[in-house]
């Protein structure tokens, strides 16, 4: 993949304007040139290369042509997804491939979706080997509806979304009567605490849907880590109206602003805040060893946020944050601790009791035998006393 192709990708995805000052592969002197951010998008570009490398069309018959023969073929799909999110999957396929008989058209569309909104999808999940982690996009569903359906359901979590002043204030009489204990959930979910007290490990994911997904059995928390990708979406919608619809966001090349803010802030303000050195060290280690995006450690504000977005509520990921806090408060037993918990179940308590009773019976019988033997010896000594010699 050439640098020119990656530049074209940015123009297709986010409408980056042409810049005359950086077209000759020289450092650009133009202020505000978006292509200066390409280096920071390095992790996303690696993802792009990995995704297109998985494309293997089945062209056994000579007259068939692969749906993707070059990067421009993929860019055509991306442009149509962005400019016409109201089209169904079938309409997109018919529009793109009406003039030729291509193979694996569905796979080509899936790759474009994976690049544009970072979600694994498929038209049909019935041929399921290795598709268990994909979301289905039916042929008769518009692209905008597909995006709406895979997003987490927005919910309100009062204990999570209270203002900090309200959380740290003394509980009122109603709270005391109801037994409500106000806890700063967001402040408690530091990476260092999750690692030390809950025994969790952090794993990168390239799928937006998997962000903050907790595997309690294995003690793994998945984190969507493409921070530079998220920041591009925030730049696109920074000056747009608050009531921007999903279709309008997609036409700009962006996911819903609230969703993107929640993902980025859960990383930079909850798990790995810059004020907590130990959590930041964990993040640095994840960047160095687990392939996390370096931009997770770059804290920006004015270029991507509005003034009132300093502290945001969590509607999309509130449920997962609440689940994470519950895991911190009551960690799932793992390893030797889990083994001991299993052995302490009712069934094992009963078995242990029975074993104890059997041991007591055996010891009782042994004690009775010893006592009987001692009594017999005493009786023999009485019957046959030993006379002193002499």
Specify whether the CB–CB gap between 151 and 256 falls below 8 A. yes
Specify whether the CB–CB gap between 304 and 216 falls below 8 A. no
Burial per residue of 202-229, b for 16 or more beta-carbon CB atoms within 10 angstroms, e otherwise: bbbbbbbbbbbbbeeeebebbbbbbbbb
Kindly report each contact of residues 89-96 with a partner whose C-beta sits within 8 Å and lies 24 or more positions away, as own/partner. 89/123, 89/137, 89/138, 89/139, 89/140, 89/141, 89/143, 89/146, 90/139, 90/140, 92/143, 93/139
Cβ neighbours for 300, distance < 8 A, ≥ 6 positions apart: 231
- The encoded tokens of residue 268 equal 């930079």
Helix (H) or strand (E) segment spanning residue 40: none
Give residue 97's pLDDT: 87
Domain coordinates of the chain in residue numbers?
3-150, 158-337, 345-381
CA–CA gap between residue 261 and residue 390 (Å, rounded): 110
**Summary mean pLDDT of the chain:** 85
pLDDT tens for each residue of 44-87:
999 999 999 988 876 665 566 788 999 999 999 999 999 999 99
CA–CA gap between residue 88 and residue 137 (Å, rounded): 9
Q: Which of 295, 296, 291 lies closest to 279, judged by CA?
A: 296
CB atoms within 10 A of CB 290: 13
Give residue 169's pLDDT: 39
pLDDT tens for each residue of 145-167:
999 999 988 777 666 766 443 44
Instruction: Break the chain down into helix, strand, coil percent, rounded to 5.
Output: 55, 5, 40
Give residue 122's pLDDT: 87
Specify whether the CB–CB gap between 200 and 327 falls below 8 A. yes
| Torsion sign, CA atoms 105, 48, 263, 326 | positive
- The encoded tokens of residue 248 equal 């309008």
- pTM, two decimals, is 0.80
Helix (H) or strand (E) segment spanning residue 102: strand 102-103
Residues of the chain with pLDDT under 70: 23-27, 58-64, 100-102, 125-132, 157-159, 161-183, 335-348, 387-390
Give residue 177's pLDDT: 47
Burial group, residue 246, by CB count within 10 angstroms (0-12, 13-18, 19+): middle
The residue whose two tokens read 């009963």 is: 350
Specify whether the CB–CB gap between 325 and 189 falls below 8 A. yes
Pairing of strands 214-215, 220-224: antiparallel
CA–CA gap between residue 20 and residue 38 (Å, rounded): 16
Specify whether the CB–CB gap between 252 and 237 falls below 8 A. yes
The residue whose two tokens read 């359906």 is: 149
- The encoded tokens of residue 148 equal 């709406």
CA–CA gap between residue 367 and residue 372 (Å, rounded): 9
Give residue 170's pLDDT: 43
The per-residue DSSP string of 217-251 comes to TTTEEEEE--HHHHHHHHHHHTTS-TT--HHHHHH
Specify whether the CB–CB gap between 67 and 102 falls below 8 A. yes
CA–CA gap between residue 91 and residue 132 (Å, rounded): 26
Specify whether the CB–CB gap between 190 and 268 falls below 8 A. no
Residue 51: strand, helix, or coil? helix
């Amino acid at each position: 993949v050439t640098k020119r192709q990656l530049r074209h990708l940015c123009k297709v995805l986010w409408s980056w304007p042409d810049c005359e000052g950086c077209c000759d592969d020289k450092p650009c002197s133009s202020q505000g040139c978006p292509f200066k951010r390409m280096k920071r998008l390095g992790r996303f570009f690696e993802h792009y290369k990995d995704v297109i490398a998985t494309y293997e069309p089945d062209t056994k018959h000579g007259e068939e042509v692969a749906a993707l023969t070059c990067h421009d073929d993929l860019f055509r799909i991306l442009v149509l997804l962005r400019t016409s999110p109201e089209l169904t999957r079938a309409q997109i396929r018919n529009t793109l491939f009406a003039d030729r008989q291509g193979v694996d058209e569905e796979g080509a569309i899936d790759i474009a979706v994976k690049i544009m909104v970072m979600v694994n999808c498929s038209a049909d999940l019935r041929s399921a080997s290795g598709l268990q982690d994909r979301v289905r996009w039916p042929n008769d569903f518009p692209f905008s509806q597909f995006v709406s359906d895979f997003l987490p359901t927005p919910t309100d979590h009062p204990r999570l979304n209270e203002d900090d002043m309200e959380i740290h204030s003394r509980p009122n009489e109603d709270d005391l009567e109801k037994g409500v204990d106000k806890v700063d959930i967001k402040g408690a979910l530091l990476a260092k605490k999750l690692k030390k007290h809950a025994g969790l490990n952090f794993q990168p994911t390239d799928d937006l849907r998997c962000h903050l997904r907790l595997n309690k059995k294995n003690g793994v928390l998945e984190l969507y880590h493409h921070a530079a990708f998220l920041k591009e979406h925030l730049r696109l919608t920074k000056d747009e109206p608050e009531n921007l619809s999903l279709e309008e966001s997609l036409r700009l090349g962006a996911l819903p602003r609230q969703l993107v803010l929640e993902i980025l802030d859960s990383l930079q303000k909850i798990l790995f805040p810059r004020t907590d050195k130990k959590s930041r060290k964990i993040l640095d280690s994840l960047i160095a060893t687990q392939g996390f995006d370096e931009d997770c450690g770059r804290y920006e504000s004015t270029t991507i946020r509005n003034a009132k977005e300093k502290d945001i509520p969590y509607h999309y990921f509130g449920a997962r944050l609440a689940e994470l806090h519950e895991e911190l408060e009551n960690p799932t037993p793992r390893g030797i601790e889990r083994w001991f918990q299993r052995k302490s179940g009712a069934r094992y308590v009963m078995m242990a009791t029975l074993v104890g009773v059997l041991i007591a019976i055996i010891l009782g019988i042994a004690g009775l035998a010893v006592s009987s033997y001692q009594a017999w010896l005493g009786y023999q000594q009485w019957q046959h006393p030993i006379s002193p010699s002499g």
